[in-house]
Amino acid sequence: MISMSDFCFFKIDFPYENMGEYENEMLRRKLHLVREENTKMVSQNHKLLSQLEAMGHQLHQANTKVNGLMRHYYSTSIKLACPLVFNFDLIVILCKHLCE
């Protein structure tokens, strides 16, 4: 009878005593890689949160500036528009009296 050992011309060096030990080592390596990836993602998350916070601050500043400009614009517009509206009303009244 022929066995498998008859066909092996070289010995494969397997540093583990059994497959369970090998699987444990592979799982340890995978865990190490996952932890490294997690560390990178946590770092990226902190960076993104910092950027988001900075952008929120910039948005708040821009909003405050726009609100101030709008208040100034409306107050100036009202000051300029009131005499125009009054004059227009006066012209309409005069035209009605002249047309009668």
From CA 88, how far away is CA 92, in angstroms rounded? Answer: 6
From CA 65, how far away is CA 98, in angstroms rounded? Answer: 49
Give the pLDDT band of residue 67 (cuts 50, 70, 90).
Answer: confident
Look at residue 4 and tell me whether its pLDDT is greater than 80.
no
Per-residue pLDDT at 62: 87
Contact 56, 48 (CB under 8 A): no
Give the pLDDT band of residue 7 (cuts 50, 70, 90).
Answer: low
Mean pLDDT, range 30-58, rounded to an integer: 95
How many residues are given for the chain? 100
Q: Which residues contact 65 (CB under 8 A, 6 or more apart)?
A: none
From CA 97, how far away is CA 13, in angstroms rounded? Answer: 115
Show me where the domains of the chain are located.
Answer: 20-99
Contact 22, 16 (CB under 8 A): yes
From CA 53, how far away is CA 61, in angstroms rounded? Answer: 12
